[in-house]
Amino acid sequence: MIRMGADTRQCPKCNGQMAQGFVVDMGTGDMSLGPRHVSKWAPGAPVKSFLFKTKVPGNSLPIGTFKCATCGYLESYASPEFASKSQRQFSLRALFIAVTLIAVALGIVVTIIRVAG
């Protein structure tokens, strides 16, 4: 049994030191601006969804990955303990969307007031 909470371990291929990390799922869109998530493991075969391309079941698990500093070997595990530990970070994209929606709403209100007045 592998102890999941360990930050480092020994590589099964070359006996080098392995460090814990994670695989970044870039989501859709531009590699620098798109949403970034910790990859998750889901049971069963993928099921296509019309809007979201692939349905993700509620019992999916975040994936933690260990990388060997010597040979680069990757070893991954799916466990709840690999979930993000911090609060949701500030998103410039979300701010831009919110400001745009507010501007559109204000534009509509101003137009209605001008037409009614």
Range of the domain at 27: 8-87
Residue 115 lies in a domain: no
> Which pLDDT score is estimated for 85?
72
pLDDT in tens, 28-86: 655 556 667 778 888 888 888 777 677 777 788 888 999 999 999 999 999 988 887 76
Residue pointed to by tokens 């001008």:
114
pLDDT at 27 > cutoff 90: no
Residue 22 lies in a domain: yes
Residue 113 lies in a domain: no
User: How many structural domains are present in the chain?
Assistant: 1
Residue 16 lies in a domain: yes
Three-state secondary structure readout of the chain: CCCCCCCEEECCCCCCEEEEECCEECCCCCCCCCCCEECEECCCCCEEECCCEEECCCCCEEEEEEEECCCCCEEEEECHHHCCCCCCCCCHHHHHHHHHHHHHHHHHHHHHHHHHC
pLDDT at 87 > cutoff 70: no
Residue 114 lies in a domain: no
pLDDT in tens, 51-64: 767 777 778 888 89
